[in-house]
Structure 1
Amino acid sequence: MQSLRVKDYMELDSHSIPSTLNVAEAVDVLLNDHLSGAPVVDRNRQLVGFLSEKDCIKHLINSSYYRDGSPSVEEIMNRDVISVAPDTSILELAEVMLQHAPKIYPVCDNGKLIGVIQRHHVLQALRKDESSVSLDAQN
């Protein structure tokens, strides 16, 4: 189980949102790409935050009530992002997922976004490992 690594199950070149977009543009990205959220990156692909559907819904409700314009993504994104390294073990990440709410975790190498890993990827890895253990036990 410890040999299973994030890099073996993550999505490479995942969707990200440039920090320079306004919220309306970011919502279009989320809707068009069927995403529940995405990492926010600067022009060097350094992770600077995470924008979720929930963040956008909250903003859209407030802006419709107050008739505010569309602020930048940086103004409403979550800056307290839990990211993981590509060499993190799947088991370690699974433990983190049990303690924290995010379903999507940015995968970073020296702060630079290289992909994402989601709960379903971890579930696949754990199930695959369980299946291989069952097969080994039968032999």
Structure 2
Amino acid sequence: MKTVADLMVTQLITLSENDSLATAKAIMQDKNIRNIPIVNEENECVGMLTQREYLRHAFYLVSQFGTQQISKKEQQTPIANAMNKDILTISPDMALDTAAEFFIENKYGCLPVIDNNKLIGILTPIDFVKLAHQMLNE
């Protein structure tokens, strides 16, 4: 049986709650990623900043301060103001078919993988696409 540990990505880019939205935006653009796990000093996942949540908060900032102020306000806004704190996490020993069902039923963009309360990886729908592609080529 394949598990989450067989497919998860372990080379992670993480940020803290105190990092700015501007930092998150730059990383998302530079690394072409849509999900950034937010961790505390003990590497515990305390939230996720997704591209959707970033955009929602950016639109809020524009509506409050105008487009001329957006860069300045993103520098001043901590990720804690925009991140999702109510996240579903999974374990590395979860069966892959169970994890796939979470994506299908809930349309999650990313699931943090937690072991002993520490973030050890993430799983995304793209990982399943890569697996399907690999299996089709075998």
Please, what TM-score do these two structures have when normalized by structure 1? 0.82
Q: Percent identity?
A: 20
Q: How many angstroms apart in 2 are the aligned matches of 1:60 and 1:109?
A: 33
Q: How many angstroms apart in 1 are the aligned matches of 2:117 and 2:136?
A: 32
Give the structure with the larger strand fraction: 1
RMSD, matched Cα: 2.1
In structure 2, the residue matched to 1:137 is: none
Which of 23, 33, 36 does residue 35 from structure 1 map onto? 33
Secondary structure of the residue aligned to 1:38 is strand
Task: Report if the CA contact (8 A) 1:4-1:125 is conserved.
Answer: no
Which of 64, 69, 74 does residue 66 from structure 1 map onto? 64
Secondary structure of the residue aligned to 2:28 is helix
Which of 26, 29, 51 does residue 49 from structure 2 map onto? 51
In structure 2, the residue matched to 1:87 is: 93
The answer to whether residue 106 in structure 2 is matched with residue 100 in structure 1 is yes
Could you give the per-residue CA deviations for residues 59-87 of structure 1, whole angstroms, max 9, x where no partner exists? 11221221273321111100111111100
Q: Which amino acid in structure 2 is aligned with residue 32 of structure 1? A: D
Q: Offset at 1:107?
A: 0.8
Please, what TM-score do these two structures have when normalized by structure 2? 0.83
The answer to whether residue 8 in structure 2 is matched with residue 19 in structure 1 is no
Secondary structure of the residue aligned to 2:113 is strand
- Structure 1 stretches of 5 or more lacking a match? 133-139
Q: Offset at 1:130?
A: 8.2
